[in-house]
């Protein structure tokens, strides 16, 4: 299984040349932009999107705040786990980078000497995108869109076959969804405990609310109403 695609008649290779051929026709400055976006920019955008989602969940509060934040915590953990899973996959498949076996590619990033299948960038971004989707549908759709763009960039840059990217998408999605129930079962109680803390609870809700004696939260409006009733009684 040293090489999965050796012939230009392979649709995987044909699509590689079609997408990478766009780089040859594009202005030099555009290729430099795509190089930065595909190598670093979209990963940074995913991190900012997760932070934005966390801020939105925190402001909204409510009973679903802790489970949503738990899903956001799981997203980067799942991405890291998926990359670890990819280590033996790459070693087993041992697929060289496309520019090793195919001539005439416009390679925008040099120094790629590791194996090609599957794409770490595609794996990470899709894991983050699907993890976001579990936490918040609207932010998740945006994250998945960024992951798809990342996959396109990796082929455009000449450093991955399309099937490398598809494999990365599948791996990232599988790790997030298959382990999400276990991650939620472990992380949600932990974050509910954090939520009850007067200070650390600010990471979950915009304002910490005082707890009952049994540890459950009292809505702030109810607390204020009870205080007013005590004042009137006095």
Q: Cβ(20)–Cβ(155) under 8 Å?
A: yes
Encode pLDDT of 29-39 as tens digits: 999 999 999 99
Report yes or no on whether pTM surpasses 0.75. yes
Q: Cβ(175)–Cβ(78) under 8 Å?
A: yes
CA-nearest of 151, 156, 157, 186 to 171 is 151
- Sorted by where each begins, the domain ranges of the chain are 11-195
The most confident of 60-74, 130-144, 189-203, by mean pLDDT: 130-144
Task: Give the confidence band of 193 by pLDDT, cuts at 50, 70, 90.
Answer: confident
Note the Cα 7 to chain centre separation in Å. Answer: 33
Q: Is the pLDDT of residue 202 over 90?
A: no
What is the crossing angle of helices 42-60 and 120-135, to 10°?
10
Q: Which residues pair with 211 in a beta bridge?
A: 217
Q: Is the pLDDT of residue 223 over 90?
A: no
Q: What is the largest CA-CA distance in the chain?
A: 88
Topology of the domain comprising 11-195: Vanadium-containing Chloroperoxidase; domain 1 (1.20.144)
Query: Phi and psi dihedrals of 113, rounded to 5?
Result: -115, -5
- 3-class secondary-structure state, position 87: helix
C-alpha to C-alpha distance for 11 and 215, rounded to whole angstroms: 60
pLDDT of residue 205: 65
Q: Which residue has the higher pLDDT, 30 or 218?
A: 30
Average model confidence (pLDDT) across the chain? 83
Q: Is the pLDDT of residue 92 over 60?
A: yes
Q: Which residues contact 149 (CB under 8 A, 6 or more apart)?
A: 37, 42
Q: What count of residues does the chain have?
A: 234
pLDDT of residue 40: 94
pLDDT of residue 57: 81
């Amino acid at each position: 299984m040293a090489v999965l695609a050796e012939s230009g008649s392979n649709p995987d290779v044909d699509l590689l040349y079609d997408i990478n051929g766009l780089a040859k026709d594009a202005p030099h400055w555009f290729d430099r932009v795509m190089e930065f976006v595909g190598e670093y920019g979209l990963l940074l955008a995913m991190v900012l999107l997760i932070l934005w989602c966390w801020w939105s969940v925190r402001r909204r509060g409510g009973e679903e705040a802790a489970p949503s934040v738990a899903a956001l915590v799981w997203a980067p953990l799942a991405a890291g786990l998926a990359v670890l899973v990819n280590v033996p996959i790459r070693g087993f498949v041992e697929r060289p980078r496309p520019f090793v076996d195919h001539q005439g590619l416009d390679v925008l990033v040099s120094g790629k000497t590791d194996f090609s299948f599957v794409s770490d960038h595609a794996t990470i971004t899709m894991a983050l995108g699907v993890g976001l989707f579990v936490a918040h549908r609207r932010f998740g759709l945006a994250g998945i869109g960024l992951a798809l763009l990342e996959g396109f960039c990796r082929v455009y840059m000449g450093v991955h076959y399309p099937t490398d990217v598809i494999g990365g998408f599948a791996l990232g999605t599988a790790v997030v969804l298959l382990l999400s129930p276990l991650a939620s079962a472990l992380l949600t109680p932990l974050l509910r405990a954090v939520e009850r803390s007067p200070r650390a609870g600010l990471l979950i809700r915009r304002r910490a609310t005082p707890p009952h004696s049994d540890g459950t939260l009292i809505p702030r409006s109810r607390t204020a109403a009870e205080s007013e009733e005590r004042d009137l009684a006095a």
